[in-house]
Amino acid sequence: MQFKVNKNIIWEAQTWRITYVDENIVVLRPKENKESVIKSIPELERAYLSGDLVDEDAITPQVEAEKQAYLSDLSLRQQRTINTRMQFIQCILKEGVTVDNAQDAIITLAVELEISEGNIPGESTVRRWLTRYRASECQAISLMDKRSNTCRG
């Protein structure tokens, strides 16, 4: 989710207006109150991913169940790809991971996952996955490798 000044969000059962944003923090003000609250961007991103924070203007598309693809419909390789990408997304959303140290966190996770040096994703790639994941209403299937988007029949 992009945090922009004057945007309204719903969080903790309250409507908040974003009054200030920089690369680390967001200043929120409840509609009924003049007292502002300072929150870190990673904290709000985690709330967004868990569904506790939503954009007031967000429109949730209705998806018919028979048109959905399920992880169980995918090959094992595709499932591994989605799982690995999800781990990288969670890695950069951890508290304490900033723009300055995100690539180091990605490299550390890649070493833990035994990913070869030539196959380690860059920070911009992981952020692109995160954007696609959020745009799909947090559907893990959105992280599937687009070069092999076919399902088992």
| Cβ within 8 Å of residue 91, ≥6 positions away | 97, 105, 106, 109, 126
As a whole number of angstroms, the distance between CA 87 and CA 115 comes to 13
- Residue 4 CA: distances (Å) to CA of 7, 28, 142: 6, 11, 25
As a whole number of angstroms, the distance between CA 46 and CA 6 comes to 21
Going edge to edge, which strands form the sheet with 14-21?
37-40, 25-30, 14-21, 8-11, 53-55
The amino acid occupying position 106 is I
User: Residue 60: what pLDDT?
Assistant: 44
pTM for this entry? 0.52
Segments in the chain below pLDDT 70:
58-71, 146-153
Domain parsing of the chain, residue ranges: 8-55, 69-148
User: Residue 69: what pLDDT?
Assistant: 62
